[in-house]
Amino acid sequence: MGQLVFFSGTMDSGKSTLALQVDHNHAARGRDGLRFSRSDRAGTGVLSSRLGLRADAVEVSDATDFWAEVVRRRTAGGRVDYLVCDEAQFYSPEQVEQLARVADEMDVDVFAFGITTDFRTRLFPGAARLVELADRVERLQVEALCWCGARATHNARTVGGVMVTEGEQVVVGDTADGGVRADVAYEVLCRRHHMRGLTAARAGAGELSPPTLDLAGD
């Protein structure tokens, strides 16, 4: 039986690098697979890593049907032994269910990679469904670091250099070609600094004063 595995972590934890490595390892053993991605920072139809590694991929859209995609390729005489699905947090819950069905009924291994929560610390619907359905959820062992050196646990969005906690859940930025929104960037923070909205830029500007305690009643 195929398996559905979800590899999760914050940005900068090596998800896309691992996705490319998993694809390489399976292909090296004679298995035939497909790479999928959605809204990759490097553009359409590509799976890329911040280390500079990249490979062509099938671009996922709202209309993508993973079950139909595998059926079409197998009907045409192709082999599909596994799927590597990057940026899986952007998939719809229905698409995640299609991936589970592909694993269960077609004996295809599905390896999904993505972050679990958005810049508001809310679960992405696709990531939530993966946590609910996956045979196992693997937390990436490479720890991303906040600017302060602590383990980064939250993804932050900045617009014009200022951290924001409201807006559309999915906005592509911080890309090689300027992105859909050139003024949008992302960074990872520890919970403490995410709660305070204290980004690396603000820290660099000297905004490091600790919170004031009201001791008037003591």
Over residues 39-55, mean pLDDT: 89
Domain boundaries defined on the chain: 1-142, 145-207
Instruction: Please check the confidence at residue 9 and state whether its pLDDT lies above 90.
Output: no
Over residues 18-41, mean pLDDT: 96
Model pLDDT, residue 183: 78
Distance CA 196, CA 163 (A): 10
Instruction: Specify whether 59 is catalytic.
Output: no
Closest CA to 208 of 164, 154, 147, 165: 147
CATH number for the domain running over 1-142: 3.40.50.300
Distance CA 89, CA 92 (A): 8
Instruction: Please check the confidence at residue 212 and state whether its pLDDT lies above 50.
Output: no
Tally of CB atoms within 10 A around 198: 20
Closest CA to 19 of 51, 44, 66: 51
Model pLDDT, residue 140: 86
Model pLDDT, residue 96: 98
Model pLDDT, residue 208: 57
Model pLDDT, residue 214: 43
Contact 95, 70 (CB under 8 A): no
Model pLDDT, residue 166: 84
Contact 73, 59 (CB under 8 A): no
| Mean pLDDT of all residues belonging to the chain | 88
Q: Percent of the chain, pLDDT > 90?
A: 64
pLDDT in tens, 107-138: 999 999 999 998 889 999 999 999 999 999 99
Instruction: Please check the confidence at residue 178 and state whether its pLDDT lies above 90.
Output: no
Over residues 85-92, mean pLDDT: 96
Over residues 38-54, mean pLDDT: 89
Over residues 161-190, mean pLDDT: 73
pLDDT in tens, 186-206: 899 999 999 999 998 888 776
DSSP label at residue 81: -
Distance of alpha carbon 195 from the chain centroid: 21
Instruction: Please check the confidence at residue 211 and state whether its pLDDT lies above 50.
Output: no
DSSP label at residue 152: P
Looking up tokens 């195929």 gives 2
- Among the listed residues 69, 87, 168, 207, the single catalytic one is 87
